[in-house]
Structure 1
Amino acid sequence: MSDDLDALESWAAPLLARLQPGERRKLARDIARELRKRQAARIKRQENPDGSPFAPRKPQARDQSGGIRRGVMFAKIRQAKFLKGRGMSDAATVGFAGRVARIARVHQYGLRDNVDRNGPWHDYPERRLVGYSDADRAVIRDMILERLGSAL
């Protein structure tokens, strides 16, 4: 996947060099905003970037406890408050901010973490919260071409 992003970057770099720094910054901000929206929608659908569903939650021992567990996973961390898109003159980034960044990292890479502060440890399955699909790359390409068409 990083090879695809590197190819997109090498393709876009000479084209973006034609834009003024302010225009590049606006384009990067718009790309970051659009990618953040797409990532949040994908997390809401509970899908990995490749289209496969997230690994399901561990089954509960008791049905009546844990009302939070009945809802979708990651309902709050996909909010703009935590999932940030940032555009600079040379890059557009999408990632998690604050304390939820640790939670997102644990799920992104399938790490081992405490369930509660002094609680048991659990090996979390990998759930790719942030990643880029072919459709995302196509959207980035189209946004660049549209901006270049209007600027030139």
Structure 2
Amino acid sequence: MEDALAVLLQQLAPPARRTLMREIAKNLRQRQKKQIQAQKNPDGSPYIPRKRRVRDKRGRLRRTMFARLHTARFMKTASTPDSASVSFTPAVERLTRVHHYGLRDRISRHGPTVRYARRQLLGFTDDARHWIADLALAHLAR
């Protein structure tokens, strides 16, 4: 079905494809935002929680991880007639890479180096692929 859909999409004019890709990118960003807010990996498993601090300040409220990361300020969409993408801005790219792949990083400038747990921020599932195909078919039906 994906091959047949690809042929139909190639027959569309570039402005129509650009409109479709913009719609896919916008909706994909919304789905990724909900996933990050729910603190879940793309496969539905929950994020590995933060390590508890030995001495935490009393009365300090801890936000959920990546509380502002899913906002439009940091998560951007891009689309061309041939592609759609969701990415993070360069300001938070290092932070997202470290958490997404579970890399090592310094806590602060002169602090210790720590290995972070792997928390996938962006990703595809089979459900997302089917959703994109359904969105493209709906666009072609219009």
Interval containing the TM-score (normalised by the shorter chain): over 0.9
Deviation, 1:124, is: 0.4
Q: Percent identical across equivalent pairs? A: 44
SS at match of 1:62: coil
Partner of 2:51: 58
SS at match of 1:81: coil
Q: Which consecutive residues of structure 1, in runs of 5 or more, have no partner in the other structure?
A: 1-6
Tell me the TM-score normalised to structure 1 length.
0.87
The one of 120, 126, 140 equivalent to 2:132 is 140
Deviation, 1:66, is: 9.0
Partner of 1:71: 63
Cα-to-partner distance string for 1:11-50 (whole Å, 9 max, x where unaligned) = 5321211211000001001100000010011000000000
- Count of residue correspondences: 142
Distance 1:11-1:59 versus aligned 2 partners, 3 A rule: farther
Greater alpha carbon shift after TM alignment, 101-110 vs 128-137: 128-137
SS at match of 1:145: helix
Partner of 2:74: 82
Question: What is the CA–CA distance in structure 1 between the aligned matches of 2:80 and 2:110, rounded to whole Å?
Answer: 40
Distance 1:97-1:86 versus aligned 2 partners, 3 A rule: same
SS at match of 2:114: strand
Q: Which consecutive residues of structure 2, in runs of 5 or more, have no partner in the other structure?
A: none
Distance 1:112-1:65 versus aligned 2 partners, 3 A rule: farther
Counterpart code for 1:14: V
Question: What is the CA–CA distance in structure 2 between the aligned matches of 1:124 and 1:54, rounded to whole Å?
Answer: 12
The one of 4, 13, 17 equivalent to 1:24 is 17
Q: Do structure 1's residue 46 and structure 2's residue 49 form an aligned pair?
A: no
Question: What is the CA–CA distance in structure 1 between the aligned matches of 2:117 and 2:56, rounded to whole Å?
Answer: 22
Tell me the TM-score normalised to structure 2 length.
0.93
Counterpart code for 1:77: L
